[in-house]
Chain A
Amino acid sequence: MDSVREWIRRLWGALHPSRGDRDLEQELQSHLEFAAEEARRRNSDDAARNARVAAGGLSQAMDAVRDQRGVPWLDDMQRDVRYALRGLARNPGFTAVAALTLALGIGVTTAIFSVVYGVLLRPLPYADPDRLMAIFEVNSKGRPVRLAAPNFDDFRAQSRSFQAMAMYTLPYPKSVSGAAQPTRTMVAAVSPDFLSVLGVQPIIGRDFNASDAHKGASPTALVSYGYWRQHLESSHDLSGTHLKIDRTTFSVIGVLPSAFHFPADVDLWLPADLEGESLSRTSHNYSAVARLAEGVTVEQANRDISTIARRIHDTSNEQGTSLLVDGRVIPLQDSITGKARSALLLLLGAVGFLLLVACANVANLLLAQAAVRERELAVRSALGAGRGRLIRQFVTEAFLLVLIGGSLGVMGAVWGVDGLVELAPSDLPRLDSIGINVPVLAFACLVSTGVAVGLGALTAVRATSGDLRDDLVNGARGQTGSQRSQRIGRLIVAAQMAITLVLTVGAGLLGRSLMKVLQVNPGFRVDRILSMDVSLPSVDPAAKPGQARFFATLIDRLETIPGVRAVGATCDLPLNGGHPDGLFALLGRNDMPKTMTDLRALFQQQDRLGTADFCVATDGYFKALAIPLMRGRVFDPRDDADAPHVAVITQALARDRWPNQDPIGRTIEFGNMDGDLRPLTIIGIVGDTHEYGLDVPPRPTVYVSLFQRPRAAMSLTMLTDADTQQVTSAARGILKQLDAEIPATFRTFSQVYSASLGSRRFNVILIGFFGITALVLAMTGVFGVMAYSVSRRRREIGVRLALGAARGDILRMILSQGMRTIAIGVATGIGGALALTRTVGSLLFGVTPTDPLTFAGVTLFLVSTALVACYLPARRATRVDPMVALRDG
């Protein structure tokens, strides 16, 4: 009890020194006076001095009392912090470089960790997420695949490892009307217990129940929070809310929580059984999610499911390669993050490495700093500062540096994570759960603390090893230890240079590829094009002529919008995934296939076959996108539904299939693309277009007319001089007049163009970022090591100068020493880059992995930057005053 009270008072004393130093000193003074008085009484000569000797020194006693008064380390810490702050402020350049280096390292690590945490580690936002499992069939190739409905039913009925099991389809797009605006929305069909397996409740309304899934039940739907906010006006009364999908009306019965995104991107959930269940054991239509029963492990569940799966395999009458051979249970979180895991961990490893390099640099800087302060350390040591005390001083400085650097870094990370999420490939799962949150901040603190302790301890032990008091006497210190640490420092710098070179070469190659890609002529106009995706309800094949009429009217009306110069339509926009492709057959004059048998016979004759992409378009499409007509003609009003069907082909097809011949007038059979067996007569040749991406060669393509071969989903392309917003709203109005239930999506073609370069740009930015970070670190590394070396060699430089060396000689000497290290690094780096760039060969376009221009440019750039980093310390070396250097060491 007493000692507890003592420590409370000590703490209090440390924070509120009620008995101030003056009070203590007065007490001690009075003690000395009493002693002197008594000594005088005994007739001593030098009474005051004797008294002091007898009583012990005043200042030492003061220290001892002070220690008893407060908490010694707390007091010391205050003093250390004050002292360290003074030190950092005295050297703003050093402080800035060290803090920014740490900020870079900690910031980048934090940013990447936030992604890793959000995607891989953060628990799924469902009840007891670690009990949730995904269930797969295993196919004959040993790969997990989705489930066939009867297999799912058997798993659910026969397994004993799960509390509950639900199934759901992959998301698919549907035209949804009935809300404020018709939309193209991702829909998933789920079994009625889907939400209860996940442990999620609608925030408004009710969950599905078993009767919603019965045949003949009135159709119901659940909507996402986002859809509800955006399209249902956040209405809390759902009783009158209905949505129409393919002419079926669904009552909206509930709204899901805002954090619920499963399966990803879905805004509308429908009960699965209404979809019409397939009885085949080989149609893999469903995914399954299940909750483990109490006390069951993943392994037990796996064995359970595997047994059932093998039994199905052995007894089913649907034998063949599509039938399952086994079953597998995987934790749901792993199944969602599966593919991203290794890439993200690799990335985290890479930034962890950058952080280490940053630390090595700062350690070098701190050592250089410590070398300058050697004398000061020696003096403090002589005045009685213990080694522990000096070490604590170093650790305090390191903590302050890390505090500054870490705060800057975390601030940078907060800003950078948004950019990272924006840039990240959209197939990265769980993007919405990435952010700077408490666990990420805790991680940043942990990393920073580790860095601070490591840096402080390393520097302190290095700087205070050996007897500092000897240094004061000798004015120099043994060189062996410092030479070893300098060698390590140089090794680190050379390694950094090598890594930087590899990364920068990689970034250079990818960057040059991107530039080459941008130089490719796509074969069509990119600017001033506004596209409008329209999907008609696709229920009835007999509706096809209606679809053609609808689009014809729509195109006519769109052409009347002020500022719109041309309107066309295509089934697939270029750079947006490409067209379907297939086999076509060349027809002679008299062999029109009348039956399927004729057709099959035709496709047996290899010499009559050809391969091409198939695209439905209108004449306006070529005009709007400025795809040039090479020969013949494009579609015109003569080519209506009743006229002979015609086709326009691309130069690539003409070249491939009819070299040195004229394809115009020839007839082909391409009916397997849209089921229409009527032959197509070639009427014209147009220029090639890069449909699949600028870096993919143009493909042979057959264009057919929308008015002869109608389709439900088309992209309308408008060439416009007017403001995009105005044209968009005018077009929306026109569509609404024609049919209020059809949704449209608008994009400018520049967006499509830019998105098609997305992953290439992401790669350049990512590796470029790593390259720049590595470059900055390597340069601070060079700077730190050279500064350390120069401060170590001041005495030697002083001697050289005193013996008549010119300042230029000193500059050359230091520079050449630095350049040796750099040369080793660069040489290693070139070797590494030559070996490694081959692996990114598939990402390159128009440059070889050993592109001499890139290699030379990057090497020149790195060496010259490194020269600058060497020059600054070297210049300081030339300013050494020989007198001062020789006197002070």
Chain B
Amino acid sequence: VANKEPAKADVLHGTLDLMLLQTVAALGPLHGYSIAARLEQVSGGALQINMGTLYPGLMRLEQRGLVRSEWSVTETSRKARFYTITAAGRRQLAAEKAEWARMTAIMHTLLHNLG
């Protein structure tokens, strides 16, 4: 029944949305498992996102109108819910990417030039 387990989710909070959006935007309609698998694969196993984090995140994006979803069938004929990015999602992604780049540039400068 415990619903306030902030530690894990909050760490990922800012970046999780961005990662999910980027994955869905780059690879087109995906179901939840393949999104998680893709993130794990790309990060070389460093990012293991469990269901309790993944699905609330996807639902949050959907509630904000950044992705939409529908039930469909995989190549192997299994039923799954597929997520697609929306126009608003692309705009949001572009904005967040730019912000992320700006932030990392600042951090880079900070960490290297003040050493």
Contacts and interface: CB of A to CB of B under 8 A. Distances in A.
Interface of A: 2-3, 5-6, 9-10, 13, 24, 26-28, 30-31, 33-35, 38, 54-58, 60-61, 63-65, 67-69, 72, 76, 383-386, 389
Contacts of A28: 51, 55
A61 B51 contact: yes
Contacts of B33: 30-31, 34-35
B34 interface: yes
Nearest to B57: A68
Interface string B23-41: 0000000011110110000
Contact of A55 (B51, B56, B59, B80): B51
Contacts of A55: 50-51
A389 B1 CA distance: 9
Nearest to A60: B52
Report, as a range, how many residues of chain B touch the other chain: 20 to 34
A340 B50 CA distance: 70
Interface in B43-84: 48, 50-53, 55-57, 59-60, 63-66, 78-81
Nearest to A24: B55
B76 to A, nearest CB: 8
Contact of A30 (B31, B36, B57, B60): B31
Contact of A2 (B32, B65, B81): B65
B1 A64 contact: no
Contacts of A389: 1-2
B3 A67 contact: yes
Contacts of B50: 54-56, 61
Contacts, number: 93
Contacts of A58: 51
User: Ordered nearest first, which 9 A-B pairs have the shortest CB separation?
Assistant: A56-B50, A68-B56, A61-B51, A34-B33, A64-B52, A61-B52, A9-B63, A2-B64, A6-B63
A55 to B, nearest CB: 5
Contact of A31 (B2, B32, B63, B66): B32
B55 A64 contact: yes
Interface string B1-20: 11110000000000000000
A26 B32 CA distance: 12
A65 B1 contact: no
Contacts of A2: 64-66, 92
Q: Which of B1, B31, B78 has the most CB of A within 10 A?
A: B1
B64 A63 contact: no
Contacts of A67: 3, 56
Contacts of B79: 26, 30
Given A28-B55, A30-B78, A61-B50, A6 B1 contact: no
A33 B76 CA distance: 12
A76 B2 CA distance: 11
Nearest to A57: B52
Interface of B: 1-4, 31-34, 36-37, 48, 50-53, 55-57, 59-60, 63-66, 78-81, 92
Given A28-B51, A64-B52, A64-B53, A5 B59 contact: no
A65 B3 contact: no
A33 B80 CA distance: 10
A34 B3 contact: no
A803 to B, nearest CB: 41
B9 to A, nearest CB: 8
Nearest to A32: B51
Contact of B63 (A10, A35, A57, A383): A10
Contact of A63 (B3, B34, B36): B3
Contact of A27 (B3, B4, B55): B55
Contacts of A65: 52, 55-56, 59
Contact of A61 (B55, B63, B65, B80): B55
Contact of B80 (A30, A35, A56): A30
6 contacts: A10-B63, A34-B37, A57-B52, A64-B53, A64-B55, A68-B57
Contacts of A30: 31-33, 78-81
Which of B37, B52, B66, B81 has the most chain A CB atoms inside 10 A of its CB? B52
A239 B80 CA distance: 88
A38 B37 contact: yes
A68 B59 contact: yes
Contacts of B92: 2
A60 B4 CA distance: 12
Given A56-B53, A69-B59, 7 more contacts: A2-B65, A13-B63, A28-B51, A28-B55, A58-B51, A65-B55, A67-B3
A13 B59 CA distance: 11
Given A30-B79, A56-B52, A72 B34 contact: no
B13 to A, nearest CB: 12
